[in-house]
Structure 1
Amino acid sequence: MKGKKFQRFIKRIFDIVVSLIVLLVFLPVWIIVSVLIKATSKGPVFFLQERPGLNKQIFKVYKFRTMKPGSDNMIKGQEVMKDDDRVTAIGKLLRRTKIDEIPQVLNVLKGEMSLVGPRPERIASLADYDDEISKRLNMSPGMTGLAQVSGNIYLSLEDRYKFDVYYVEKFSIWLDLRIILRTVGVVLLGEDRYVNKCLVDINHGGKEVAATKEETAEK
């Protein structure tokens, strides 16, 4: 237990340091992206939406707006795919490169999110949570996570939940580092490249897949 608490402390320090670096380094990108969003579509630069975080605490998640105004009404569990006509032209690029997620470093600095953790879902999803799925709320939601680097939009909602619960139960700094490393690959190569290439096998007791060398080679 003490080991886990220490690792969570290190995780928080890491979150703050990396988020500050990203905030400063990507400041020119923030400006450019903001101008492009305003120039290519009507609506605000940022998309804010309430999401449940650690222990169901509600907070507003920040993202660059990638969809047309009024397009945020979605069917529960249905992801926005590449050819979704609700996504703006610049929004497709932002989603593909994950740049739309960068403003969430503000959520991380505020302690509402972490760099790595279960993705924050819509509040309406809480109605379907059972005791097992609710475990994903025992850690702060993340900008990236185990499900996001294991197929993400190509996974079923049930499997995404399984990855999230596994992460919460098996959390370690080492697992976080592996997820961050894989996230770099997802940004560079695309989510579809990692379909059926999971870091853990959730169908066989959560056994970790020894794919570190393979991932490094791909990058």
Structure 2
Amino acid sequence: MAAFFSRELAAYAHTFPRAIFLLSTAGSICSIFLLRAVIAVLFKPHPLLLKAVIIGDIGEGRRIIKHLHRRGGIRFRILKTMASSEIDELASVVLLKHIHEVFVTDPAINLDKFWAQIYYARKEKPHAFNVKIMIDTRKASGTVGLHSLEDYPLITIPSFPLNRFESFCKRAFDVCFSIFALIITFPVMLLTALAVRLDSPGPIFYKQRRVGLYGKDFDVIKFRSMRMGSESTNGPVVSTSDDPRISKFGKFIRHFGLDELPQFFLVLIGEMAVVGPRPERPFFVDEYFEFQGRRLSVKPGVTGLAAVNSRYYLRLVDKVTYDYYYLDNYSLILDIKIVFQTIWVLLFKENQKKPIGVESEQFESEHCEKRREE
């Protein structure tokens, strides 16, 4: 039977016109190219159009936007131009007009007010917009996106200071270290809970409202180290090492940082990180611009540079100096280094006295003087 069909096909092949075969092949090839051309036209990617606001010199802002378009094909639609004196309206403009990019072309802008507005806007719309600040390179410090666009020195502050890979690595480190720390310190926490209960009347744990990522409030948990009703008279005040409100056993657990151990549970559920700026109370965040803005663009930490260098002796400006240095120089290696330094400080009290890499006096003069004059 196979031989029969082979002879029939061979006979039919001789009668099939070769011209039709050639035309069919050519038509198929042309159809493929035509189909590709149609798809390319219908699904051609259009340039990304982002909404922008310019603060300061409008001409400089437009020139920066043109350079960005030439380099990356990104188009911006300028929805609002603002003078530096109108900075108090920035948050409402960003939220109402759904702004993607904020361009600041005035290097002399009041940074305290600016970051306060960014803080309020990101509290409502995290990850929604980026910030590009035109700066004087002679005064620039840190490594936060400092680059040059043609002749324009810029600092780019993304909606989140860590990229996706860094965020993944930091979260993986937080989870692994927290599990390890909770397993190792579980017997210590049981003994601490018993001692707190016997030392003074009141609950074992102390819950307090703190400000976390993007200004969202959460409850921080500690072993109680103060007597009950300590703030009923004077209200919220900054704690010190010789605070009279601290109980006898409270001094001991604070001395070795045992009161902070329950916070590793908060790290596991994602409210905190192992390393980061220490969480502040809403009262202080609302009172001081320095505790807002970039400081709230990362999760608060169980420990941080400020805790490593001096736990209860730092001024406000020193705390912010350490936190900004951490944000400017973040790496997983830095996190690991801070963890080991924290253990060393708790055991041997070898506290460093000066900020790493930046002078607090310089930070105070540049970032806090304007606010005090107001």
TM range (shorter): 0.7 to 0.9
Cα drift, residue 169 of structure 1: 2.6
Residue 145 of structure 1: CA displacement? 0.5
* Aligned match of 1:87: 246
Q: How does 1:113-132 map to 2 (within 5 A)?
A: 113-130=272-289
| Residue type of the alignment partner of 2:211 | P
**Which of structure 1's runs of 4+ aligned residues deviate more than 2 A?**
1-5, 72-80, 128-133, 197-206
Question: Structure 1 residue 78 and structure 2 residue 238: aligned?
Answer: yes
Q: Tell me the TM-score normalized by structure 2.
A: 0.50
Cα distance per residue 1:163-203 (max 9 Å; x no partner): 1122123211121122112111110122xx32425433344
SS in 2 for 1:125: helix
Other-structure match for 2:356? 199
Does structure 2 conserve the Cα–Cα contact (< 8 Å) formed by 1:50 and 1:58? yes
Deviations for 1:92-113, whole angstroms, at most 9, x for unmatched residues? Answer: 1100000110000011011000
**Separation in 1 of the partners of 2:222 and 2:179?**
17
3-state DSSP of counterpart to 1:187: helix
Contact 1:46 1:63 in 2 (8 A): yes
The whole-number CA distance in structure 2 between the counterparts of 1:43 and 1:200 is 43
Confirm or deny that 1:6 pairs with 2:151. no
List runs of 5+ in structure 2 lacking aligned partners: 1-157, 364-374
| Count of equivalent residues | 203
Q: CA RMSD in A?
A: 2.4
Find the partner of 2:321 among 124, 147, 162. 162
Q: What residue in structure 2 maps to residue 216 of structure 1? A: none
Which has the bigger relative contact order, CA under 8 A and spacing at least 6?
A: 1
After superposition, the Cα gap between the structure-2 partners of 1:49 and 1:12, relative to the gap in structure 1 and judged at 3 Å, is same
Q: Which has the larger radius of gyration?
A: 2
Question: How far 1:133 moved relative to its partner?
Answer: 4.2
Aligned partners of 1:53 and 1:120 also within 8 Å: yes
Unmatched segments (≥5 aa) in structure 1: 207-219
1:97 to 242, 248, 256: 256
* Change in CA separation of 1:3 and 1:111 when aligned onto 2, cut-off 3 Å: closer
| 3-state SS, counterpart of residue 278 of structure 2 | coil
Identity between Structure 1 and Structure 2 (%):
36
8 Å Cα contact 1:133-1:161 kept in structure 2: no
Match of 1:34 among 193, 210, 224: 193
- The corresponding residue for 1:59 is 218
